[in-house]
Amino acid sequence: MTIALIPGLGGASHAQGPAISDFYLDNGLHVVVIPDHRAPVVTHMIWYKVGGADEPKGKSGIAHFLEHLMFKGTEKNPGGFSKQVAELGGQENAFTSYDYTAYFQRVAKEHLGAMMAFEADRMTGLALTDEVVNPERNVVLEERKMRVDNDPGSQLAEEIASTLFTHHPYGTPIIGWEDEIEGLTRQDAIEFHSRFYTPNNATLVVAGDISAAEVRELAEATYGQVARRAEPPPRLRPQEPLQRADRRVRLADKRVEQPIYQRHWRAPSYIRARNGEGEVLDLLSQILGGGQTSRLYRSLVVERKVASAAGAFYGGSAVDETRFGVWAIPMPDVNFETLEAAIDEEVSRIVSDGVTPEELERAKTRLVADAIYAQDSQSTLARYYGAMLSVGGKVEDLQLWPKRIAEVPAERLPEVGRAVLAEGKSVVGLLEGQA
C-alpha cells in the first residue's frame, strides 16, 4: 500500500474526520492544517517539490546530499538547530525521495512558531563552506557503502530499478551513484538550493493541537517573510520507451541467508492514471498480495508450501510512471523456477478470471479501514497529505479517495490487470546465496 494514498476519511464519512483546511501565502507557499486536539503537540513538516528525479544529469545524489547539508547551520544559526529542537523536547528528521524532500519536527504546540522560524531561515540563509561540505560528502559516501554496498538486497533493488527504468531518472538511486557523489561540490549544493528551495515550490503541513487561524498567523510572520527567489521549471522528465521483452537480473552473494524472488512492472501512478486506474491497482495489490488472506499467500504459503512469505505492492505516489510488484521467499527446498511458475499462475488467473464479490468487498473494507486508523497518528496524516501534494495531487484527491475506492466495479480489476501485468513488460529480480 502506498503511503500517500491512505488519507483521512473523505466523501460521506469525511465529517467524522479532521476538518482539514489549506491556503496559500502571498509568496506561493501552500499551507495545509490538520487539527488534532487530543494532545498539546504538533507535527510541523515542510515539503519541497524536488527529489532525486529532478537532479541535473551527472549530479545524482545532490538532492539527498543537500538534505544532509540543511542541518549544518545558517548565518543566523551557525550551529544548526538540532540541539535547540532537542532542548525543547522535540524530535526532528528529514527524508529524500525521487519526487520530494521533507523536513519535520514534532514539538509541544507552544514551540511551533520557533520551528517555522528555523525552517524559514534554512530556506534562504544556508551557510555552506568547503569545510562543511567536504566532510559531509564523505558521510554520504560512507552511508552508501553501509546501506547499499554492504547490503545485497539493496544492490538488487538498484539493479531492478535501473533495469525497469532505463531512461527515466527513477532508475537512478536516490542516494546517487558513487562516482557522481564524489564529484558533488559546494557550488552544486548552493545552485540546487537556490533553484528549488523557494516558498512557491514548497508545502507546509501542520498537524496537531492548533487551528488554521493560528497556523496562518505564525506562517505569515515566518515563512511569509521569505521572498520567492526562483521559478522552478516544469517537472518534465525523460519518459520510458515501450518495453518489448521481459528482463531479468540475478544476484548471488555469500551474505544472503534468505533468497527472494521479485517481479516488477511499470504502472501508472495516481497522478498519471486515467479512469480510476490508481484505485484499481491499489485493490488489485491488496487482493493479490495484501496479507495472509491474499491469493499469493494462500496459494504459495498455505496450500502449495513453496514459499514462506509472499505479497504484492503498488507505489501509487509518484509524479510519473511507478511500479506494481509481487514478491515471495522460497522454502529451502524450492527453486526459483518452481516458485515463479506458481506466482505466474496466480497473476494469470486474476487477470483472466477476475475477482469474486467477496474478495473485492474485503479489499475495499481493508483499505478504507486503514484510512480510518491512519487518523490516530497526526504525523502519519501529515505525511500522506504532504507526499500527495508534492507529486501534484490535491487535498480533495485524498479526501475523496475512500469514496472512489468504494465505487470501483469488479470488472475493472482484470481489465487494468491485463494492461499492466502483461507479458514482456516486467523485470524479474532474483537474490540468492553463494557457496
Cα distance between residue 163 and residue 282, in whole Å: 24
- Percent of the chain at pLDDT > 90 equals 89
Question: Which candidate, 267, 255, 377, 270, places its Cα nearest to that of 325?
Answer: 267
pLDDT average, residue stretch 326-355: 97
Listing DSSP states for 385-429 in one string gives HHHHHHTT--HHHHHTHHHHHHT--TTHHHHHHHHHS-TTSEEEE
- Please tell me the predicted confidence (pLDDT) of residue 18: 66
What is the per-residue pLDDT across 7-46, written as a single tens digit (0 to 9) for each?
Answer: 333 333 333 456 899 999 999 999 999 999 999 999 999 9
What is the per-residue pLDDT across 289-315, written as a single tens digit (0 to 9) for each?
Answer: 999 999 999 999 999 999 999 999 999
What is the per-residue pLDDT across 252-285, written as a single tens digit (0 to 9) for each?
Answer: 999 999 999 999 999 999 999 999 999 999 999 9
Clarify whether 67 is annotated catalytic: yes
In this model, does residue 6 exceed pLDDT 50? no
Listing DSSP states for 240-287 in one string gives PPPP-S-EEEEEEETT-SS-EEEEEEEE--TTT--TTHHHHHHHHHHH
**67, 277, 279, 321: the active-site residue:** 67
In this model, does residue 69 exceed pLDDT 70? yes
CATH classification for the domain delimited by 3-225, as one of 3.50.50.60, 3.20.20.100, 3.30.830.10, 3.30.540.10: 3.30.830.10
3-state secondary structure of 152: helix
307 CA to centre of own chain: 28
pTM of the model: 0.93
In this model, does residue 1 exceed pLDDT 50? no
- Rg for the chain, CA atoms, rounded: 23
164 CA to centre of own chain: 18
3-state secondary structure of 106: strand
CA angle 116, 190, 48 (to 5 degrees): 40
Q: How many residues in the chain?
A: 435
3-state secondary structure of 246: coil
Q: Where in the chain is the domain with CATH 3.30.830.10?
A: 3-225, 247-433
In this model, does residue 3 exceed pLDDT 90? no
Top-tier CATH class for 247-433 = alpha beta
